[in-house]
Homo-oligomer: A and B are copies of this chain.
Amino acid sequence: MPRAGQRPRLVEVAERAGVSLATASRALAGREGVSTEVADRIRRIAHELGYVANPYARTLAGGARSTVGLIVHQVDDPYFSEIAAGVIQLAAEQGLLVQICQSGRDPVYELRQLRHLIAQRVGIILISGSGYDDPRVEAEARAELAAFQDHGGRVAAIGRHALGVDAVLPDNEAGGHALAAHLMDLGHRHIAVAAGSAGLTTVADRLAGVTAALRQRGLRPADLTVVHGDFTRGGGRAATEQILNEHPETTAIVALNDAMATGVLSTLRSRRVPVPARISVVGFDDVSVAADLAPSLTTIRLPLTEMGRTALTLALKPRAARPRRRATGHLLVVRDSTGPAPTT
């Protein structure tokens, strides 16, 4: 008998179908050992009753955990919100729930969030955002994730390669290379980099691509100005001030992500420096507003939403012998923020 005002339970479904709890459970789980007619009848009745399994009971009883934990640095950063959108989309299609956490770019806090998710017994953990250069923290995260996987959890990372788990990896080095090459093709020789914190692996990788391109064309790394700061709009502003003051000969600024590029453009505008006539600017990521900045931003396109989907797809597959890696590819999108180097 259905209890008034309560959600139907599996027993109700089973009773209505005239079968036992076990059979009903098996039928709804799509497990074998139930004849087709009976299974169909059970499913039909479940649907009629609006039955939805209680995930707490299901998980407690040892069934599949159906929630995925997503760790981002900051949801209101478009880089992460676009990734999150991809994850949430695919999760909804698969009937999974997404629990989202912010780490605030703090490795220690991130570790705490990670432990919290594991304690909450999520089935899948997706961890996005640059890794940290601090071997201690990375090692702890690695160990925690390894243990989690040994107990049947699944993990995928987005944009970090040092965790020993499946990963979706943007082509950071190649992208950095393409940006620098593009600027040099335009005649720029005095290039400055607005880089994020030195402790982020993403920063290091992108920077490596830039310096490689310079070296390839005969410039010495010493010719490159690199200013580190926050990997955010504010960091871009600060870096630009410093570049303008200390390296006035600069004709092009490479911001290592679009958030910083936004700050760079903002400062140049308020300083009335014409872009790209006097200084060219490039970003990295191609978040969706990049095309709407003024001038619209030349940048490296990463398929952010797709990256989110891919990461979840990896995590839904059974664990492989060795961590899988998916490169994202990269695409230089040339817009209005870059132009020929000014002829002195």
Task: Mark A residues whose CB is within 8 Å of B.
Answer: 5-7, 52, 54-57, 59-60, 67, 74-76, 78, 81-82, 84-85, 88-89, 92, 97-102, 113, 116, 119-121, 147, 150-151, 233, 262, 265-266, 269, 288-289, 291-295, 305
Contacts and interface: CB of A to CB of B under 8 A. Distances in A.
Closest 3 CB pairs of A and B: A294-B294, A52-B119, A81-B81
B102 A99 contact: no
Nearest to A263: B292
Contacts of A265: 292
Contact of A121 (B56, B92, B119): B56
A100 B67 CA distance: 11
Chain B CB within 10 Å, residue with most, of A5, A56, A120, A305:
A56
Given A97-B116, A266-B292, A294-B295, 7 more contacts: A6-B151, A56-B56, A60-B60, A67-B99, A75-B85, A78-B78, A88-B100
Nearest to A58: B56
A289 B121 CA distance: 37
State the oligomeric state as a number of copies: 2
A265 B82 CA distance: 22
A266 B5 CA distance: 52
Which secondary structure dominates where chain A touches chain B? helix
14 contacts: A7-B119, A52-B116, A56-B56, A76-B82, A76-B84, A76-B288, A85-B102, A88-B102, A89-B102, A92-B113, A98-B101, A99-B99, A292-B293, A294-B294
A120 B293 contact: no
Contact of A293 (B101, B233, B294): B294
Contacts of A97: 99, 101, 116, 120
Contacts of A305: 76
A48 to B, nearest CB: 15
B76 A81 contact: yes
Contacts of A84: 75-76, 100
A289 B305 CA distance: 20
Given A56-B59, A98-B99, A292-B262, A81 B75 contact: yes
Contacts of A88: 75, 100-102
A76 B289 CA distance: 11
Contacts of A101: 88, 92, 97-98
Contacts of A54: 60, 121
A78 to B, nearest CB: 7
Contacts of A76: 78, 81-82, 84-85, 288, 305
B56 A60 contact: yes
